[in-house]
Structure formats: C-alpha cells, structure tokens
Structure 1
C-alpha cells in the first residue's frame, strides 16, 4: 500500500463570508432554508480569509477555490469584486466560481463581465428540479433541460468558463445529456452528486447514476460535501463513497474539496484532510496527487498562496 500522501493540496471548494455585509439571505438571523445537513445555525458567523488560513495551517493546502455562497440573487459581480479584494489582500482564494443566472434576460452581459475577471474560472446556478428519486423517475426535470437556461449555458464555452453543478444524483441523467450536447464545456459535479444518506439502496442508485454521467469525458467531480446530517464525518462512513468516485471517474477527474466552513460543523479541517489521506492511500501515489492537487490545478488553475504573499 502506498504511503499517506504528503504533497501539495488544492482545496477545490470552500467559502468565505462577512455577514456584516448583509448579502447572504440564508445566513441572516432567523433565516431557515432547507439544507441536507439540517440545522446550520453554527455557521451563521463571519468566516473570513484569516479564519480559513488558520484552519488550513499545517495541512498542506497550497491554493484554494472559492465557491459562490448564495449571495443576494442577481448581484454576482458584487460578490466577485468582494472576493477579489480578499484574494489580493490575503491570497485566499486562488481562483473562484461565480454566481450566474443563466436564464436571466441579461445573462449574456453578466457572463461577459464575469469572464473578464481573471480569477473566475467557472459559474454555478443550482438547477432545481426533482427533489427525490421518485420525482425524477416520474419525469420532473430541472433547468438543465430548459431551453432558455440552455441558451445561457451555450455561452460558457465561448468565454472559456466551466459550469459547477450542484444537484442530487437523481438529476445526473439530465447532466449527462447536457454534457453530450455541449462537449466543449467542462461540468464539475459538486459534492459528489449530493449523497445525503448511506443506506444500501441509495448508495447503489447513486453509484449507477455516477457511472452513467461519467461516460461523458467533459465531466469531473468533487469529493466534497459528503457529510450526513446528525452524523460525524468518519473514515469508515466515507471510505466507500470516496473510493467509488475514484474508481468510477478515474483519479484524474476527481478533486478534493473541503466545503468549509459548512463541513466544519462535522469535523475540523486537519481531521478532514487526514481522513482523505487515509482513504486515498488505497490508490497509488499518482492517483493520490491527482485527487489532492492535479485535477483542481488543471480545471481551476488557482494562484498558489506562496505567489500571492511573496
């Protein structure tokens, strides 16, 4: 068995936020939105680059990718400019995924603005759709199949932007069709296709859905967001899903993401990284480096922290 990975790490999915700005409605006092993790009250606090840097200290993280954090809808450029200021002041993040409403009347203009920002490598627009496997089987479709939304999506390739897709695994057949129709655009599946439980039936169906969407070569996936409501993050609970991701997609199409501070409700950053190191030691050193660093480097090209502070 290979040694535990001790090389550089890129965190391909994290947030930072200043709640004093009042730009995150879901994190406002008294706000409650449906969340797969249940009660998220513990993360209703500022989480700034200094907090993130403290969390990653000594873990091997050399660069990071910011994920849009449900900023006030339609105000994505303001979020990008805020994060860009953090980036220049602290080096966090190295690159970013921006909010973009692909079915908005001004989508063309907004995408052009975002693409002009060098740190923006991808956009995210959660597509809604079926809220259960049964609804998906009954024919409930997401925005991934909507003609107006797809017109916006079609513009991404021209701007060299990727698309980050956060949707439950039962909507991934829509994603497979989207990937086939727009082969020049990379789809990054966030949070491993949102595996919110570990019962055998769910895991089997999730694994099958991943196998189908992995047939599209322009799809990659994040090993992130794998916590389960009410359950601590453990190696035992996550070994199977993480190994499945690597075996289904190949290590060169899988990347580590912390989803901090959200997943910090379940485990500290060092514990998370050490858990991934233990799980990924089942694979050879090249595969480990791909998941921890090379895939995210290729997809997001984040500026390293050492370059930002030197």
Structure 2
C-alpha cells in the first residue's frame, strides 16, 4: 500500500489560514506565569516557494515572554533530498532541522530549538521500513525521537494536504512498519481526525509496546458537513477519545485549534482573539483530555506556524495557562514541560 495516493486527491484540501502580521500585531498580551517552563511539543520549520518559517521566525514568536525551554520539530515535508531514492528523501528534512537548531545556538538562543525531531518514513513499507528508519536515525545525529505518517482521511472532507488511503491505521503492512519503531527507541506521532479514533485505538491495542502520541486532540471536525453540529461531534469525539485513553501507551497533544478543520473561525475577527476568548472555545476539548488521560499523558503544543493564521504565539500560551490555572504545580509542570520531555526523551 502506498501512502501517497487516495481519492482524497479528488477533493481540494482545506488550506491553512494565511499568516497576516499586521492583523496579529493588533493584539498582544504580557505572558501569564512567565516563569513556568515549557516544552513546545509540536511545531514546524519550513522553506517552500510560497512560504517560509525558519529559526529566526520561531525565536521572534518565542520572544513574546514565555519560558520556552525546548521545542519538538515535526515533519512537514520540507527540504527533501530529491537526489536520494524516494523512500530515503525525508532525511533531507532532518538535516534541514538540524541546521536550523544550529542556527538557534549560533544566535545564542536560550531555547533548544528542535531538541527532538519527528521525521517521516513510509511505514506502509512494512518490515522494509526498518532500513529507512536506520537511515533517518543516522541523518538525525541522535535527535530522532519519532515518526509521523499523516492518516487524515474522510470520504466527504479533505482536512489535510496529505493524501493517505482510507483505513491506513488498520492496514497490515502499515502496522508491520509501525512495529519497527519501538525496537529502535522511536515513537509514533498519529495525526487523524475524530472519525478515525477507533482505528487508532485498535492500532494502539495491537502494538502496546509502541509509544503513540495523538496530534491536535484528534481533530474533531467543524467544517463541511460537520459545520453547525459541534455538540454532536463533541459527544462522538469524547466517546472515542475516552476509549483511546484506555490504552496506556497513548499520549495526546493539546493544540492545533487554529486550523480551519476545527471550525472555530478565530481568523474572522477584525482583531485577533484574546487568550480568554480562545480558552473559552477550546476548554471542553482540553479539559476532557486532561480528565481522561491525566496530565502525565498530555502535552501542550503550538502547532506553529500553522496556527499562526489564527492567533499569536504568546496569546496562545496564555490561553493554555488560563485552562490550567486550577491544576496543581505538578500538574502544570507535566502539561507544559514534563510530559513532552519524558515522551521525547529530552534532557532537563
């Protein structure tokens, strides 16, 4: 099975919201609890013909006042090595991320940018994926912690630019590829939408030794045929996320709420949303995950620059801190730092 085709190609992808610096500049906030240490558990760095987000851009966002100790770079199909065999081309992206991390060090940044890397490998290669993983481990120079294969698929909604086939998470060859991760000390970043959560739960049960982290709270859809059905979607999402939480090898990233697929429409205001407004909209999802998984299996993420089209970096972290205000000191530290540091094996 290939992960590069599927009938999603017949439907236009929901684009990311464009980043509008002038609009974002209309609202800023001082950082709440600026001393709270944070690991940004999910962000991208990229260089494409039509857009760029490099270390200098990330550090400018981090300068909003929060104590970002380290970040986790997640694959986004940038800077592939086009001269390499197709299955090995993603090593170029890892080398790009390492160069960006070195650039942050050269700038004297306190934040350890891209301290951990999540790369891409075609796990549908089955057992043959092991050879690719070994190549990526070498390319990452000790920083590779996991692999992401986007599985987002829906018959009526194309919520991602990726075009995987349907039911990828159930495919026997794909699972044979995922099984190659744990023996190499690697984890699996899972990105799927709420209608696919039972498939991920099945995968997690089949491979209990594999650490899995669900991206973006599992993408409860709020667009297309799901627009205007938020309560119905929430109840279906919560039912399936509760079942997923029963798998002790599964963690969850709290974030991604600025993507159009959630249908929150943060980008439609005359000014960017403030942190209280963001917190009010995302509260049911964040609180449900923390209740079901516990703080020790939840980690906050920025998903920048994807979410930057909807709100500012500092404002976003303030929204998260508002939601965690009632948590114990240990709970806060887990949500913002310790869970991600443990899952991605980051030094203190």
TM superposition score normalised by structure 2: 0.74
Gaps of 5+ in 2: 1-31, 81-85, 105-111, 158-164, 223-228, 267-272
For the aligned residue pairs, the C-alpha RMSD in angstroms reads 2.2
**1:129-208 matches, cutoff 5 A:** 129-131=153-155, 142-197=167-222, 199-208=230-239
Q: Answer whether contact 1:5 1:289 (CA < 8 A) is retained.
A: no
Q: How many residues align?
A: 273
* Corresponding residue number in structure 1 for 2:46: 17
Change in CA separation of 1:4 and 1:89 when aligned onto 2, cut-off 3 Å: closer
Gaps of 5+ in 1: 20-27, 29-43, 134-139, 305-310
Deviations 1:24-51 (A, max 9, x none): xxxx5xxxxxxxxxxxxxxx42110011
Which of 258, 266, 279 is the equivalent residue of 1:235? 279
TM superposition score normalised by structure 1: 0.82
Deviations 1:114-164 (A, max 9, x none): 23331110000112444469xxxxxx9511111111111111111110000
* Alpha-carbon distance, 1:221 to partner: 0.2
Q: Answer whether contact 2:153 2:193 (CA < 8 A) is retained.
A: no
Tell me whether 1:77 sits opposite 2:77 in the alignment: no
Which of 54, 69, 75 is the equivalent residue of 1:68? 75
Which of 100, 115, 119 is the equivalent residue of 1:86? 100
Change in CA separation of 1:131 and 1:70 when aligned onto 2, cut-off 3 Å: farther
In 2, Cα distance between the equivalents of 1:269 and 1:10? 13
* Alpha-carbon distance, 1:302 to partner: 3.5
Q: Which runs of 4+ in 1 moved over 6 A?
A: none
Q: 1 or 2 for the larger relative contact order (CA 8 Å, sep ≥6)?
A: 1
Deviations 1:158-197 (A, max 9, x none): 1110000000122111111111111111010000001232
* Corresponding residue number in structure 2 for 1:209: 240
Which of 285, 296, 300 is the equivalent residue of 1:256? 300
Tell me whether 1:100 sits opposite 2:121 in the alignment: yes
Deviations 1:268-309 (A, max 9, x none): 0000000110111132221111110010000113467xxxxx
